[in-house]
Amino acid sequence: MKKTGSYSLFLFSVLLAAISFTSCGGGGEDDHNNMSDTLAADTGEQIIEEYYQIPLPGDFFASLRALGVNGKSDLLNPAENISNYTTSAEKAVNFGVYCSDLFYCSNFNQKADILKYFENLKRLADDLGISSVVTDQTMKEIENNLGNTDSLNRITSTVFYDATSSLESSGQGSTLALIIAGGLTESIYLSTRMVNSYKDGSAAIQLIADQKFPMDNLYSYLNKYPEDGRVAQIADRIAPLHEVFNSLTETPKDTVNNRDGRKVIGSETLIMMNADDYKKLTVTAADVRNSLTQKTAN
C-alpha cells in the first residue's frame, strides 16, 4: 500500500528541554532520523541531541477526519476511571490517554463530557507535580470555547506541550515516556475502532499502518530508562502492539518530494498491511489499551 496522508510530529529530546512541531510528508526514512547534531551556544561544543518523533494526537485525528473517517461514541476511556489510578505509572500513562481522548473529542465533535476530561487532566497533573499545566484560567478558557474545535485543539496542545516541557526541564524523562506511551496507544486504539474494517488501498488504513514509525521511536525512548521499573512494566504491556507493527513489511520506493517549492528525488519507506494484519492490530490494540486503562498496572 502506498504511503499517504500527512500530520505534524511531536518532537521531544532526552538531552535538552526542547519541543517543536514540524510538518512531515508522512513518515518514511525521515521518521528513522532520530539523531540531530546541535551546537551548544554557551561553549561552542558540538553535542548530539536525540529527538523522537511521535504524531501529536490532534494532528493524527485531524488527518483521519480529513480522509473521511467519522467519530464514534462510547470509545473513550471513561472519565470516572480516574479513581482507579493510584500509582505514579497509572497516573502518567492515563494522563497521556486522556490527552488523546480530548483531542478525539474536539476533532469528532464529542464535547458533552469534555470538561470532565480536562478536570481529569488537572487532577492528574497535580498528582504528577506539574500542576501549572492545567490552571483555573485554562478551565475557564475551555468553558468559553466548547463549540470551537480549533480552540479546543489549541488548548489541549498547549497543555500537552507544557506538561512535556515541565517534565523535561525537571529531569522527569521517564514520566514523560509513560505519558507518550499512553497517548500513542490510545490514539492507535481509537483509530482502529473508527476504521473497523479493512479496505485495500484505503488511505486511512495506510495512515494507521504508518504508526509503525512512531511506535519504533517510542520504544527507543522507553529504552532510555531501563532502570525505571515503571517504564519497564509499561514497555512490557505495550510489547504485543509493538510486535504487530514490527511484523509489517517495509518496502523502499523511490519518490519525488516537493520541499520548499523544489523538486527533490528521495526514497520513501512504505508499510505493507493486509486484512489479516489489520485484524490482528485491531484486537491487539484493544487488549493493550485495556491493560493500561484498567486497574492492572501496579
Go through 23-38 and write b for each residue having 16 or more CB atoms within 10 A of its CB, e for each that does not. ebbbbbebbeeeeeee
- Helices of type H across 128-225: 136-144, 149-169, 173-194, 203-209, 212-222
For range 187-206, the mean pLDDT? 95
Place of cell 474536539: 106
Q: Cα separation of 113 and 104, whole Å? A: 12
Place of cell 479493512: 198
Asked which of 39-53, 119-133, 273-287 is least confident by mean pLDDT, the reply is: 39-53
Q: What is the pLDDT of residues 95-110, one digit of tens each?
A: 999 999 999 998 898 8
Q: What is the pLDDT of residue 170?
A: 86
Enter the pTM of the model.
0.79
Q: Cα separation of 279 and 288, whole Å? A: 14
Over 60: is that where the pLDDT of 85 sits? yes
Q: Cα separation of 23 and 21, whole Å? A: 7
Q: What is the pLDDT of residue 285?
A: 98
Percent of the chain with pLDDT over 90: 50
Q: CB–CB of 181/291 below 8 Å?
A: no
Band the pLDDT of 215: cuts 50, 70, 90. very high
Band the pLDDT of 30: cuts 50, 70, 90. very low
Band the pLDDT of 150: cuts 50, 70, 90. confident
**Average pLDDT, rounded, for the chain:** 79
Q: Cα separation of 238 and 235, whole Å? A: 5
Q: What is the pLDDT of residues 108-138, one digit of tens each?
A: 988 778 899 999 999 999 999 998 888 889 8
